Amino acid sequence: MILEATPSVGNEINPWLSAAARFDEAVERLELDEGLAKVLRTAALELTVHIPVQLDDGRLEVFTGYRVQHSIARGPSKGGVRFAPDVTLDEVRALAAWMTWKCAVVNLPFGGGKGGVICDPSVMSEGELERITRRYTAEIMDIIGPERDVPAPDMNTNAQTMAWMMDTYSMHKRQTITAVVTGKPLDLGGSRGRPEATGRGCMIVTMQALRKLGLEPSNTRVVVQGFGNVGGMSAKLMARAGFKIICVIEHDGAVFNAHGLDIEGLMKHFHETGSITGFSEAEDIDRHEALYLDCEVLLPAAKENVITSANADRVRARIICEGANGPTTSEADAILADKNIFVLPDILANAGGVTVSYFEWVQDRQGYFWNEQLVNGRLEEIMVNSFKDVVGYAEKHKVHNRLAAYMLAIDRVAFALKTRGIYA
């Protein structure tokens, strides 16, 4: 299915149309063959499954799940599985496409995939989540596997979810196959450094941006939106590297300290109370207005569509590092470019997670595991080289960083597709 990519006020926040608009602009700049562009735009496979699950109270409920494989031109498709009440096929399509471009930007031998189940984990027991995970895995298992499609954790899924998926797949195959998923517990074939990988990648590319712009970490004020795995780890690692984290924003509020927050202390408060608000060493401020604080770095690490055409002109950061997938809409790109904001696009900035997932996949297939120093060193090498590739491409083609990242990624996937040819 091919959708027209002409976002308007009504569909600006549709992630598939936003991804498609950027794709079309990059294709036009690359002067790509129209037929090749159609192949690259279209998902290779889209599967919808209906999952009957017996709930704890004895009722039967049917949940809808998706798995989209956008591309397998450069290798197996790779991407997370999210559980959320607002999952849509368009969202999963967009995320799968972003994974294709993300893997290509950091030059991993993967294509893009994504999965999702429409459910509300906040009202489900662990037993219900296990049953929904195992049945979902059984329904999609014909299209996943170490050489075909490798799922991973995403929103509201975690290492335990991946353990259930791996076990279900392995039971059907009658052998333990750890490489079918990544993001697993360490003792079941997970990789050291994986929980910190996305946040570490954000920190690495932000450091590169500071050097590019002649800034120092000690004079860099950072606003972080989202205090989960990505935002929390980014804040923690940046604080250790000397950045001044002046504000953290969550769904229920924001905390501010002009002299820099004690991130370790805030994490302890968050775990004890379930909220970042009320932290004794910070001031509670409006979470919406916090996004527009004067700062050097804004790190949106929560959800899609945070920066749109309606509010992009209010952003006062010098650098935006996109820890989340799709936090900026395509219509906001031009506004940020006009403001000369140095954007580290999501398909580069948060690629640390899929990079270490690739390391996990390699280690599982080898049966030989690396120490954390080796994982982090190889992650830094890939993220630094990828930053240089994107910025160099932007300068060469006189475009902003996001368009450069898309052009670079599409160019790499198109080359693979042209070299392989079209099977007929």
- For tokens 């849509």, name the residue: 88
Q: Is residue 180 a contact partner of residue 169, using CB atoms and an 8 Å limit? A: yes
Task: Count each helix (H run) and each strand (E run) in the chain, helices first.
Answer: 13, 12
Q: Is residue 165 a contact partner of residue 139, using CB atoms and an 8 Å limit? A: no
Cα-based distances in Å from 250 to 153, 269, 351: 21, 13, 22
For residue 225, which phi and psi values (nearest 5 degrees)?
-100, 120
Strand partners, 299: 224
Which class for 275: exposed (0-12), middle (13-18), buried (19 or more C-beta within 10 A)? middle
- Strand, coil or helix: 138: helix
212 is catalytic: no
Reading the block at residue 169, the tokens are 């797949």
Strand partners, 116: 66, 82
Provide CB contacts within 8 A for 16, sequence distance 6+: 3, 90, 91, 93, 94, 97
38, 78, 102, 114: which is the annotated catalytic residue?
114
20-24 contacts at long range (C-beta below 8 A, 24 or more positions apart): 20/97, 21/330, 22/330, 22/333, 22/402, 22/403, 22/406, 23/97, 23/406, 23/410
Catalytic residues: 114
